[in-house]
Amino acid sequence: FEDLNPYDLATILEILSNKYRAKLKGINKNFSFYLTPHYKEFIMRFGFQMGFGARPLIRTFNRFVEMPVATFLERVDTAKFEKHRILLVFDIKPRSLVAPKPIKEDIEMDAIVYPQIDDKNPFYEWKKD
C-alpha cells in the first residue's frame, strides 16, 4: 500500500461528507451541514497518520462532524425544520466571535460548530437567538 497524499485525503473527506449528507437528507430534507475550506484542512491535518490509511481520518470526521451534528439534532427544536432549511456550518474559531453572513439567502443558519480539541466533544459556540 502507498501512503495517502493530500489529494487522497481531500477525496476521502468529500466522500465521507457526501455520504453523511445523504444519510441526513433521508432523516430530514431541510437539514444539512457545510464544512468551510479551513475546517476541511483542519480535519485532514488532525486526521492524518502516516501508515494508517483512512481510518484516522474517518475517526476524526466522526468526532468533529458526526458527533456535533448528532448533538445539535438532539437539542434543536425539530419544529424549525418544517418552516426553515437549517444549515450547520463548521469553521475554525475566529479571533472574535461574530455572527456569520448567510451562505445562501433561503437558508437559515442556526449554529456554527468550532472544533474543541481539548474537550471530549466538539460543540457549537454560536447560536442564533
pLDDT in tens, 24-72: 888 777 778 888 888 888 899 888 887 788 889 999 999 888 988 887 7
For the chain, list the domains and their CATH numbers.
6-127 (1.10.8.60)
| pLDDT tens for each residue of 1-22 | 678 888 899 999 999 999 999 9
What confidence score (pLDDT) does residue 107 get?
A: 52
Indicate the pTM of the whole model.
Answer: 0.73
Long-range contacts of 49-54 (CB under 8 A, 24+ apart): 50/3, 51/3, 53/1, 53/4, 54/4, 54/12
- Cell 474517518 sits on residue: 58
Distance between CA atoms of 3 and 63, rounded to whole angstroms? 23
Contacts of 99 (CB under 8 A, 6+ apart): 126, 128
Distance between CA atoms of 11 and 8, rounded to whole angstroms? 5
